Amino acid sequence: MAKQTASEQLDKVVERLLGRPGALASPAGDGKSLDARLAPVIELIRGLRDLPRADFRVRLKADLERRTTMASSAKAAPEARAKATPYLSVRGAAGAIDFYKRAFGATEITRLVQPDGRIGHAEIDISGARIMLADEFPEIGFKSPESLGGSPVRIHLDVADVDSIGRQAVAAGAKIVRPIADQFYGDRSGQFTDPFGYTWAISTRKETLTTEEMQRRLDQLSPEQGEAAKTVNPIREGFHSITPYLVIPEASQLIDFLNKAFGAEEHFRIKRPGGEVIMHAEVKIGDSMIELAEANAQFPPTPQTLLLRVSDVDGVYNRAVEAGATPFQPVEDHEYGSRGGSVRDVSGNSWHIFTPTAGNPIFEHFRSVTPQLNPLRSQQMIEFLQNAFGAEEVYRAQSPDGVVHHAQVRIGDSLIGMGDANGPYQPMPCTLHLYVPDADAVYERALQAGATSIQRPVDQPYGDRSGGVQDPFGNRWFVATHLRDVAP
């Protein structure tokens, strides 16, 4: 065996002493003497063998654990971030975070709260995209879209399923700016505004195209296609967001009455094949369209209450009675700001014929014809309309005991009158035609709000995509989006 060097002998001694404190000094246990030069070093090792002391080891362990914790919570260098991260100023950041969770499946990463309760900084993650936001601080110029009157910023969000996320966003309270559709550049996308003033362009990539291919497709769009894409209104020409749909027996008889009593102008009539039964008709009174159809086993009669705004209340009231209507409230001045009276027509619809008192703003935005709902509890109905259709309550007259005498809610460009059932105005579940930018999304949102399905949205031969729901109060809503104009 080769003779060990002094360094090798020392290694063996240290190994034995630290491993077994009572061991002999012989490094290999072979009885051979150690290098005499190692004697002072071995004695020093023996003296240090029992160090560190127990109390020192406890302090050392605690200090090392503290340093490890600090290293994991505060890194020497920050993690890499994207070059540009959206930073949103929001009035009500806590509510916005909750909305983004419900609408887009956001995950909250960070939230720092100021002493006054405002969120000073927060970060969320949406499908891998980091977004920062905070409550607005007008005192330092950090203002929200609500303070500024809107935002020019649009946030582009790539998702796996734009249709699903679009429906989810609408259900959470977003409003559709541009319906989801396939785009020439290879994406399927749509635009939505959130309740805090920001617009989101939500998109799913369907095709990966070169710039040249996108330009070629753009060039191939005909002027008509390009113009149609820009100008097609989701509301059919001549209509508004809400149109009363009168489903009644003897529809032709009602059209004659409307003409004689209210000067209605018939625009369209189609009969069921092989008969005189009206399948669908449209008449116009003043600036408002009314749709009619013959009741049948699938769609039983739903007469309704309508507010008819005219300039000559007494004259129109008398003409309606002469045409066959039954009066049930005489014409008189009302303290709430109008002059009016009520009749019931030949098909069972109630008409409150009125004119606003000069200078009274309560009814100034009513069109010629406005639907009137009289549920048992208006508050519950209003909440449903808000959740299902994004309705906005614009007026309410309520007594101290909670009875709603008159309320107005706006959906799109139209108003609905409302009041708790009382006297001759009892619940009359009706049928309404609702034009929206995205029928599919609103249909799903209505179901989530408590409506039941009549039929899922489908493309119709007359150029609309429409479906139907029945709300918890018995009213039928046919939700539609106008896609293209079709010649009669």
Q: Domain residues of the chain, as ranges? A: 87-231, 242-482
Residue 294, CA distances (Å) to 133, 264, 271, 291, 368 in order:
54, 18, 10, 11, 24
Distance CA 367, CA 414 (A): 8
Distance CA 244, CA 432 (A): 5
Burial 118-147 (b: 16+ CB within 10 A, else e): ebeebbbebeebebebbbbeeeeeebbbbe
pLDDT of residue 233: 81
| % of the chain at pLDDT higher than 70 | 80
Looking at per-residue confidence, does 25 or 80 come out higher?
80
Q: What is the CATH number of domain 242-482?
A: 3.10.180.10
Looking at per-residue confidence, does 16 or 479 come out higher?
479
Distance CA 70, CA 77 (A): 13
Contact between residue 462 and residue 446 where contact means Cβ atoms under 8 Å apart: no
What average pLDDT does this structure show over 19-26?
A: 50
**Which residues are bridge partners to 51 per DSSP?**
none
Distance CA 339, CA 355 (A): 6
Contact between residue 158 and residue 133 where contact means Cβ atoms under 8 Å apart: no
What average pLDDT does this structure show over 148-177?
A: 88
Distance CA 267, CA 218 (A): 38
Looking at per-residue confidence, does 42 or 134 come out higher?
134
Lowest mean per-residue pLDDT among 108-122, 174-188, 438-452: 174-188
Q: Find tokens 């009706």 and name the residue.
A: 430
pLDDT of residue 52: 58
Residue 228: pLDDT over 60:
no
Residue 322: pLDDT over 80:
yes
Residue 27: pLDDT over 50:
no
Which one, of 418, 405, 424, lies nearest residue 329 by Cα?
424
What average pLDDT does this structure show over 431-440?
A: 92
37 Cβ contact list (under 8 Å, min separation 6): 6
| 471, HSE (Cβ side, Cα atoms, 13 Å) | 27
Confidence grade of residue 67 (pLDDT, cut at 50, 70, 90)? low
Which one, of 297, 300, 320, 296, lies nearest residue 308 by Cα?
320
End-to-end CA distance of the chain: 111
| % of the chain at pLDDT higher than 90 | 53
pLDDT of residue 343: 96
- Decide if 87-231 and 242-482 have a common fold: yes
Model confidence, pTM = 0.58
Q: What is the CATH number of domain 87-231?
A: 3.10.180.10
Residue 347: pLDDT over 60:
yes
What average pLDDT does this structure show over 36-43?
A: 65
Residue 202: pLDDT over 60:
yes
Q: Find tokens 């991260």 and name the residue.
A: 85
Q: What is the mean pLDDT of the chain?
A: 85
pLDDT of residue 485: 77
What average pLDDT does this structure show over 105-117?
A: 94
Confidence grade of residue 437 (pLDDT, cut at 50, 70, 90)? confident
Confidence grade of residue 241 (pLDDT, cut at 50, 70, 90)? very high
Confidence grade of residue 385 (pLDDT, cut at 50, 70, 90)? very high
Q: Which two tokens stand for residue 177?
A: 């700016």
